[in-house]
Structure 1
Amino acid sequence: MSNFKIPWLPITLATVPNIGGFIGGIYVRKNIKGWYETLNRPSWRPPNYMFAPVWTTLYTGMGYASFIVYRDGGGFQGAAKIPLILYSSQLLLNWAWSPLFFHFHKLKWSLFEICALWANVAGCTVAFYQVNKVAGSLMIPYLGWLSLATALTYYIYKNNPETPKEPIKD
């Protein structure tokens, strides 16, 4: 009999962000292959097939970083409290962007939202780094990819009309 224990907490915390991303991806999938393809998009955008593996990697890294901060910062009772609150709020903002952009087609609000997300992730990265340098460093690729996503959102906002409103019927 082995003394090996499955590390449930780090596995769980590394998986949770992926679950939200997966659910969001299913929710907006038809609009990615439909509406998104009709937009004026920049030549420098990544190809669509890159998004799923990149987000899976980033979600796993940020989830594991949250475990490190939780472990090393004393959980919600210690120095990790504020970093974990920032992490939780950025995760909710992250999950909210896809429906806002792909489902509701709210380009201006998507831009505002992703800018708020970027600022939150930057603060979270610094806060994580103060608890554990590895955890903070694990957030840097996410901030880089999010910078690209922010630039892409800005380009699409500036070069495409907002979805027209339904006419008001008398």
Structure 2
Amino acid sequence: MWPQSTFFMALPHVGPIVGWLFAKQYMPNWYGTLKKPPWWPPNKLFLITWTAIYSTIGYASYLIWKNLGGGFGRPLALPLGLYAAQLILNWIILLLFFGAHNLGLALCHLLLLFGLVLGMALSWHSINGLAVLLLLPYLAWLTVTTSLVYRLWIDNPSSEPPSQPYFTGGKID
């Protein structure tokens, strides 16, 4: 079963790689200007931690897939559907943060992601306890990441993209 577990462990890395390729041109300029709290971890720690977490949650999803008989039948719809949804949300945060420079939306997105991962853990609980335990570092790191983005949002109000005017139906002069 190692080809399947390798696939499941590699899949979560696809989004960050694509996101990085898209956003890397914006990282040094904008990211470097942000006022960061004194407890901000070194950038290498982000890379190491997210790499480990993506591999871990990938393996956890493999355990769920295997325990429910493999394939893509109906019993897998909810547990792996929640997994897929949280994975997509996780990938989008990179685009919101580094691409759109929208700290407020990234913060809301992280809160939604945290709730989705909790829901996923609850749905996995009766299937495989180890898979749920493997989600705990992810939840812990999401807590850290959310607190960091919150501090960035509070400390860097000028880094938010300007609000767009909207049409009110009145006459434009």
TM-score, scaled relative to structure 1: 0.88
User: How far, CA to CA, are the matches of 2:69 and 2:2 in structure 1?
Assistant: 17
User: How many pairs does the alignment contain?
Assistant: 163
The residue aligned with 1:164 is 162
CA contact (8 A) 1:79 1:131 kept: no
The residue aligned with 2:150 is 154
User: How far, CA to CA, are the matches of 1:31 and 1:148 in structure 2?
Assistant: 23
Write the letter of the residue equivalent to 1:68: L
Runs (4+) of structure 1 exceeding 6 A deviation are: none
CA contact (8 A) 1:69 1:132 kept: yes
Q: For each residue in 1:60-107, what CA deviation from the matched residue of structure 2 results, as whole angstroms up to 9, or x when unmatched?
A: 110111010011023543543311111000000000001111111111
The residue aligned with 2:129 is 133
Q: For each residue in 1:95-139, what CA deviation from the matched residue of structure 2 results, as whole angstroms up to 9, or x when unmatched?
A: 000111111111111111111011111111222232101111111
CA RMSD across the alignment: 1.9
**Distance verdict in 2 for CA 1:85–1:166, change over 3 Å:** closer
Quote the sequence identity (%): 36
User: How far, CA to CA, are the matches of 1:57 and 1:123 in structure 2?
Assistant: 21
Which of 82, 86, 89 is the aligned partner of 1:90? 86
- Structure 2 unaligned runs (5+)? 166-172
CA contact (8 A) 1:31 1:103 kept: yes
CA contact (8 A) 1:68 1:135 kept: yes
Report deviation, 1:22. Answer: 1.5
The residue aligned with 1:3 is none
TM-score, scaled relative to structure 2: 0.86
